[in-house]
Structure 1
Amino acid sequence: MKKRAIFVWILLCCIACKKGGSGQQNTDNGNTPPITNPTTAFFAKGADVSWLSQMEASGYKFYNAGGMQQDCMQLLKDKGMNAIRLRVWVNPADGWCNMADVVTKAKRATALGMKIMIDLHYSDSWADPGKQTKPAAWSSQNFATLQTTVHDYTQSVMNTLKTNGITPDWVQVGNETNDGMLWDDGRASINMANFAKLINAGYQGVKDVSNTTQVIVHISNGYDNSLFRWLFDGLKNNGAKWDIIGMSLYPTASNWQNYNTQCLANMNDMIARYGKPVMICETGFAANDATTAKAFLSDLIGKIKSISNSNGLGVFYWEPEAYNWMGYGLGAFDNNGKPTIALDAFAN
């Protein structure tokens, strides 16, 4: 009996090893949705506050509901936010959103215990669906050199942050890249393969410094499933790598319910189709309709939290602190520098 028991024990060990640790490479093709623990998964409730340092330098101040002046990031944290998103421009003419400015803001957020998302525009100014202009210093490079530059620049950004004690949880490789980036070389509708190579160059630049940082490919119109399928099918078919699918969503009072429903359906399709989690990297609503804004945000957050296996990773509000600033009307502070009730949606 003793010999038989030893034989059975050895047999069971062999079976366990075969199932769990054969030493072979993981052959997962990336089509299986990631499984996380819903009880412990981190849900990002964040804000892009890239304008903040410029606003403060212009004399803007921020106040809590009682009228007491307070640090803006602390106000956002007190409203339930736990993450900050910051855009990075390569060589901005006025210096705002360059690396020094980004490091300063990232240090402030990190000191408050907030997680960091870095949004690489790969431009000297705004990059969005309507424009993806190369930085002036990169404009004459051939495509092979451009790939190397994207990698090296991304790695440099990561190293600068690391030197300052900051490891971002997420990095966007491009901003609202509906038709690619670094036009015309990386314009997706002209050359999807080039766009995929640029994504991979940025992806590797991030991972070379921090393998734990999640890389996001981000496009706008989160309700538009056909756009997302076209772009991500193209990237997948050309061997692009990414960890998270990022979306923007900017509804109005008349369509927010439909947008939220369509966005949730799109998110679930992205997870099933590509095996990657999803996140709202940007959203906003009319600042002068805070009641509806709160209803929209509460509904959106609830829908994303309902996604199975915690594959809905979070929501970032774009520049909520902007009041009486640059003509922007989709913030979430009133004209006296106080948060509106819209931000109460982030409390839970």
Structure 2
Amino acid sequence: MKLHEMVKELQSVMSLDFDERAILFEKYRDILNSEISTNPSNIEAFCLMAMITCELREDTEKSIEILEQCYLQNQLNFSDEGFALWATDMAYFLLEEYDESSEERAVQLLSQAINRNSNYANTYYAYGKVCFRRKDFEKASKLFHKAFEISAKKSYKYCEAVSLLAHSNQNEGITLLKSIYSYPFENEKVDVNTALTLGRELAISGSLDEAKKIAEILLKTEYREFDIEIDEMSDFMYILGDYKSCVELYDKYQFLEEESWLNKYFYALKQTGQESIAEKRLQEITEKIEKDINNEKMNPTHWENYEDYEYYISSETKRLNAIREGYNKVFIYSDDILPDVYYDMIYECYYINCPRHCL
């Protein structure tokens, strides 16, 4: 059986319970083990066996050992394509399944694969992901651009655009987002995030009419169906100065009571003439946090150790003080509360021939 047919069949059982799909995974692991015993230069077989081992919930070390074996048997005759395949998949385990100490090795492998002119978009996306996390946004944008050149996926173009925005290249970032913006939405992860990010950037840049058109579309969207949250949408409304919608959305998102969130909420209430509601909300939050703190002070022995107990009391006290200070900034000192500006890329699997995600 050809490898792509094997991957396709493995994907067909992903919706089954673990024990049921494990039967087929174990079958193909045995087949692949036999294949690499007789043909150790089959890099794809090594890589698929490593991921199958991961899918069977065995220790990540075993998957890495399989790929280490692959390297030892092929290091002298790796083709550029074979090395890029192996290096990208090994980097996946080092970055996603192992620990932070292995990141530098993963970066070295991805760099080597790129220096050998990897033809896999996954390689450039994986390295771009690391650079983005390290806040090297300029390099990340170039890597995502290269990934898109190899495989014209909207997600790569989105990541390039967000990297440019994070690097303060707003005009170029907006242009890229416009190039992939489409409605009606088809891809819940890419299309909706593109609309949200584009709308926010248009609002920040002063293109309010364009931004409002996108906001009208998103306000009709079922957020849980797509890949955005109500608090993200309320932040968009805050940037637009639509404080009424902002308050309505925040009221649906009551489980987060932090200073950065409530400062904007209090400010929006003030702008809509609802000072009494803000005062009542502060009182409710204060009473709840103080009650929780006092309850824990009465029962410190319920904690496993005194350090955790102390940390809880201290952090909750700081949180309450920060919320009060934020309220005072709005209603006593009349400070302007600026909107949050944040950027995040779209995360997806980059393991080459992944039996769970490969199309």
**TM-score, normalisation: structure 1:** 0.27
As a proportion of its length, which structure holds more helix? 2
Structure with larger Rg:
2
Q: TM-score, normalised by structure 2?
A: 0.26
Higher strand share: 1
